[in-house]
């Protein structure tokens, strides 16, 4: 009975004739020199978050030439391209981020950035030290391959070129949040979103995991307020400097001694302490800030409460007042398990069976692609870009002034984009009902 039913279902819903892998490979090969050219051009001309004017114009002009419907200035400089395939079907989105970082490049590449800008009032170098130049170029390449296959595509492809992934400048809105606020997903809402980040790993490999992929990030701020006194008569006031030191120790204890490290990676780093102006005045105020990285929303809530308890407990001991606040800096990037299992098919077509790792470790930075994924579900995966013969651990990490992208990997990224989109529309994979966390 079960067999019969399955047979009936298969017969009743004939799969659309699949676009052959050979076709996609040939077209990705053909576009590769252009992808490398775009990547080098964007690399040489990096733009900070919310300032990606040149990059966005390059993208929009390319998409228009290919026949995409194009929306510009969605979230400051964001660009959305829509390609309606020749056959009816669903909607799938592919996303790339466009912004560079305030980093002075030290790679020595012939197309290295020499661009400078002002950031937070300081003159800074600007560089694509997170590889978003490669992200833009790969999605432009995928755009071209997809446009060439338009007649065969059963559904619609939405390309999202997003500004300010690293965060907008202080006082400005930006990133995925602003794109969504300005209607990125209205009226056309994709059924799923897929995206790639370049990362130290063997060049051309694709790496991901089901469930929590990248951490939620919360910025922690602590203010300690006491009574100022002479450094020679500490008993006449309070000691917020000593308390700040004790607070750091206590918070380090909290994460190392109350979290099961085998269950979920968790990081709490206190990164700044500011107090005092002179060697013989114990000040009345100390300020600390740090970042909390979690992969589980219940644990995140528990830790925030425990941090507050610890900090206020120490304040009672030291006779001061303490305020603790958290602001969300990044949501958890959560790969929908059903899609994370399904995508092994198209990604192994792109990178070969030996080129995929569907059970990679979680990654502790956060990503605002999570906001798109929380809306519709999706998978975010990592493309290895380590130089040939260099181990991932020896590869300069993202955000390093020495960060580079092995350009042999770009073609794999183009294929992965194209195949994840086309196969999603062709195969309409099963979905999980719960696609996101409460974060
Ligand atoms: Zn980054
Ligand atoms: Zn990045």
Q: Over the stretch 356-394, which tens digit does the pLDDT of each residue have?
A: 999 999 998 999 999 999 999 999 999 999 999 999 999
Ligand 1 mean position to 166 CA, how many Å?
6
Q: Are 154 and 131 in contact (CB under 8 A)?
A: no
Ligand 1 mean position to 96 CA, how many Å?
12
pLDDT band at 128 (very low <50, low <70, confident <90, very high): very high
Pairwise CA distance, residues 333 & 370, whole Å: 4
Q: Over the stretch 209-248, which tens digit does the pLDDT of each residue have?
A: 999 999 999 999 999 999 999 999 999 999 999 999 999 9
**What is the model's pTM?**
0.89
Token code pair at residue 201: 């790993």
For CATH 3.40.630.10, the residue range(s) in the chain are 16-215+332-427
Ligand (nearest to CA of 132): 2
What is the dihedral sign for C-alpha 397, 213, 206, 422? negative
Determine the topology of domain 220-330 in CATH.
Alpha-Beta Plaits (3.30.70)
Ligand (nearest to CA of 102): 1
Q: Over the stretch 106-121, which tens digit does the pLDDT of each residue have?
A: 999 999 999 999 988 8
Token code pair at residue 282: 């114990």
Ligand 1 mean position to 131 CA, how many Å?
8
SS (H, E, C) 10-59: HHHCCCCCCCCHHHHHHHHHHHHHHHHHHHHHHHHCCCCCCCCHHHHHHH
For CATH 3.30.70.360, the residue range(s) in the chain are 220-330
Ligand 1 mean position to 164 CA, how many Å?
10
Q: Is the pLDDT of residue 206 over 50?
A: yes
**Range 16-215+332-427 has CATH code 3.40.630.10:** yes
Residue predicted with more confidence, 7 or 167:
167
Residues with C-beta atoms within 5 A of ion ligand 2:
130
Q: Over the stretch 147-175, which tens digit does the pLDDT of each residue have?
A: 999 999 999 999 999 999 999 998 999 99
Ligand (nearest to CA of 96): 2
Ligand 1 mean position to 69 CA, how many Å?
29
Ligand 2 mean position to 165 CA, how many Å?
7
């Amino acid at each position: 009975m079960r067999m019969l039913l399955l047979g009936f279902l298969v017969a009743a819903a004939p799969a659309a004739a699949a676009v052959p892998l050979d076709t996609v490979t040939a077209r990705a090969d053909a576009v590769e020199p252009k992808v490398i050219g775009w990547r080098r051009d964007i690399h040489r001309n990096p733009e900070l978050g919310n300032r990606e004017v040149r990059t966005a114009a390059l993208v929009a002009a390319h998409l228009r030439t290919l026949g995409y419907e194009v929306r510009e200035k969605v979230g400051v400089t964001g660009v959305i391209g829509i390609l309606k395939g020749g056959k009816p079907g669903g909607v799938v989105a592919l996303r790339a981020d466009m912004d560079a970082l305030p980093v002075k490049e030290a790679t020595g590449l012939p197309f290295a950035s020499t661009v400078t800008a002002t950031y937070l009032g300081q003159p800074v170098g600007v560089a694509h030290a997170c590889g978003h130049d490669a992200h833009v170029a790969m999605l432009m390449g995928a755009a071209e391959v997809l446009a060439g296959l338009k007649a065969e595509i059963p559904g619609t492809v939405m390309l999202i070129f997003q500004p300010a992934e690293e965060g907008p400048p202080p006082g400005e809105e930006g990133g995925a949040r602003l794109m969504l606020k300005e209607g990125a997903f209205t009226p056309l809402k994709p059924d799923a979103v897929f995206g790639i980040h370049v990362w130290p790993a063997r060049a051309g490999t694709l790496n991901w995991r089901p469930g929590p992929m990248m951490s939620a990030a919360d910025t922690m701020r602590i203010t300690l307020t006491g009574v100022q006194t002479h450094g020679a008569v500490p008993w006449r006031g309070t000691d917020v400097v000593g308390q700040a030191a004790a607070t750091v120790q206590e918070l380090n204890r909290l994460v190392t001694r109350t979290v099961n490290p085998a269950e979920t990676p968790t990081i709490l780093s206190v990164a700044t302490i500011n107090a005092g102006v002179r060697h013989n005045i114990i000040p009345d105020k100390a300020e600390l800030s740090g970042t909390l990285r979690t992969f589980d929303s219940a644990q995140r809530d528990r830790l925030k409460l425990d941090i507050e308890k610890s900090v206020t407990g120490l304040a009672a001991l030291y006779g001061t007042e303490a305020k603790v606040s958290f602001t969300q800096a990044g949501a958890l990037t959560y790969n929908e398990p059903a899609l994370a299992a399904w995508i092994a098919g198209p990604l192994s077509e792109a990178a070969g069976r030996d080129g995929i790792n569907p059970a990679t470790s979680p990654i502790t930075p956060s990503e605002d692609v999570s906001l798109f994924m929380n809306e519709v579900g999706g998978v975010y995966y990592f493309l290895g870009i380590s130089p040939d013969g260099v181990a991932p651990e020896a590869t300069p990490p993202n955000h390093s002034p020495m960060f580079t992208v092995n350009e042999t990997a770009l073609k794999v990224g183009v294929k992965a984009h194209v195949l994840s989109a086309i196969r999603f529309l062709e195969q309409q994979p099963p979905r999980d009902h719960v696609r996101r966390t409460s974060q």
